[in-house]
Amino acid sequence: MFSVWTAWRRCTLGFVQEDACLRVCEKIVLDAGEEEIVSFLDRFRAKVLPTATFRIAGGWVRDKLLNKSNKDIDIAIDTITGAECINLLKTYSEENGIEGVGGLFVARLNPEKSKNLETASLKLFGRSVDFVGLRKEKYTEHTRIPTVEEATPLEDALRRDITINALFYNINTGEVEDLIGKGLPDLRAERIRTTVPPMVTFMNDPLRILRVVRFGIRFGFQIDPEIKTAIQSVELRKAFLKKISRERVVAELEGMMSHSVRSTAKYITEYNLHTLLFPEYDAVTNEPMEDVSFAGRENAEILDRFLLLDERLCSREMLLGCLASIYGNSGCEEKCKGWIVHRLKFSLKDRKAMVKVFFHAESVFQLILEIEEKDLGEIGAMVCSLGDVWREGFYFSLLSRGNVSVQEGVERASHAVGVVERHGLGAAYSIKPVLNGNDIVQLLGLSEEKKKTVLGSIMRDLTLWTYRNIGGSAESAREYLLGKYRSDKEE
């Protein structure tokens, strides 16, 4: 068993350089709420389960050592199950008149629904705390959901994804335990390593490929080169596509982007993750991608261009447009739209953004080329078509042109954005004409027949007039319509 002191000595004796240790706290300092929970659990253990050891596991320990807040407290116990523990805790609190303990919940074993682990939760002084027994996991070829067995603390640590997530805080002793001997050095060295060889942990659960990248992005840590090497394995990629659902893939991608869009693009490119994230469609062959090698790499060059952008332009909508473009081309627009809308499991808002940014790219590019000469109605209509992602659409239209340098593209797009904003069209997608359909019918005296045949086109014309005359009054709009459509007015 390793204490903080033992691991610190290993660190300074050559595992990592001492100056890399500055970000990590020497010991865990509990806040008032955590102190109340830990003190309660320690008193309970001493009286009811004197031979047991209570450990806080995983992310909470990592984040406390990084001086970050983490409200998720998971207690690993070694002599009873989580469900048995919370029932004893509830009884103990009632017998001793301790308030603030309640809200029991147990997730039972249910292999048919991929629930092979019983977990139990208990509300302690306003905070939900999970209790689970120490465990090791066994995987089969066809699923990432393991069967579990009771385990030692070391076995429990080794089954975790990366070393910095395999630390324990021993409530009995008040010490951090690095049972593998790598977690604290890696935390100090700002390094992401797997607890066991990467191929072993990834073949067990291929989703860990994306989890490892997400943690690297989240903390800005260096990912171990052995992980990158393992990810290139064709065997591993086949296992990934076989075992991992689209929903889980998108959830991990969302997590990556929430921390850094640029870093997400960097790792997608560097690790060839695009063939894992979006394998169904190959833009080159127009066929489903059944080969899990690096097909489509030439289409992913747009991500290299994306990485040249200023940080301020690296929005999630821009990246989504780039990802859509990897599998899209002018010859299969409808098929690709269907792929984006139906096969990906992004939110509806994100899917709409992908479609708008990617599929308007060519028309936006043509608009930008002659932006100074373009009619304001046409400019406003384009902004309206793109909606609130119109700026991203403008920049993407240039970014997607391989024959235009990134610098030139940014300059042209920035100029076009300035033109739009200068004319007050930045919110064109939310601007409503000052006259509605009933106003127009009354103004022009349209018959029921004419309402069916011309009202729609007149409304579109009025919308364009509105873009050309931002802030125009209803009276000015009436004058315009009467001047243009007076012949349609019924006598």
pTM, full prediction: 0.81
Strand partners, 177: 168
- With cut-offs at 50, 70 and 90, classify the pLDDT of residue 23: low
Residues 320-336 have pLDDT tens digits of: 888 877 765 544 555 56
pLDDT at position 346 is 80
- With cut-offs at 50, 70 and 90, classify the pLDDT of residue 339: low
Average pLDDT of span 10-33 = 57
| Least confident range of 112-116, 138-142, 265-269 | 112-116
**Residue type, position 282, single letter:** D
CA distance 236 to 233: 5
Q: Is the pLDDT of residue 105 over 90?
A: no
pLDDT at position 301 is 80
Q: Which of 281, 272, 338, 341 is nearest to 301 (CA)?
A: 272
SS3 102: strand
Average pLDDT of span 82-111 = 86
Q: Is the pLDDT of residue 20 over 90?
A: no
Q: 46-81 burial, b for 16+ CB within 10 Å, e for fewer?
A: eeebeebbbbbbbbbbbbbbeeeeeeebbbbbbeeb
- With cut-offs at 50, 70 and 90, classify the pLDDT of residue 11: very low
Residues 382-436 have pLDDT tens digits of: 999 999 999 999 999 999 888 899 999 999 999 999 999 999 999 999 999 999 9
Query: Higher model confidence: residue 100 or residue 293?
Result: 100
Average pLDDT of span 2-15 = 34
SS3 15: helix
Question: How many CB atoms sit inside 10 A of residue 213's CB?
Answer: 27
Report the Cα–Cα distance between both ends of the chain, in Å, rounded.
Answer: 97
pLDDT at position 488 is 54
CA distance 465 to 380: 10
CA distance 106 to 131: 10
Question: How many CB atoms sit inside 10 A of residue 247's CB?
Answer: 9
CA distance 82 to 196: 26
Residues 168-214 have pLDDT tens digits of: 999 999 999 999 999 999 999 999 999 999 999 999 999 999 999 99
Domain coordinates in residue numbering, the chain: 4-189, 195-359, 361-430, 437-488
Q: Is the pLDDT of residue 240 over 80?
A: yes
CATH 3.30.460.10 is held by the domain 4-189: yes
Question: Which pair of structure tokens corresponds to residue 187?
Answer: 């935390």
Q: Is the pLDDT of residue 62 over 50?
A: yes
Residues 258-267 have pLDDT tens digits of: 999 999 999 9
Residue 21 and residue 187 in contact, taking contact as beta carbons nearer than 8 Å: no
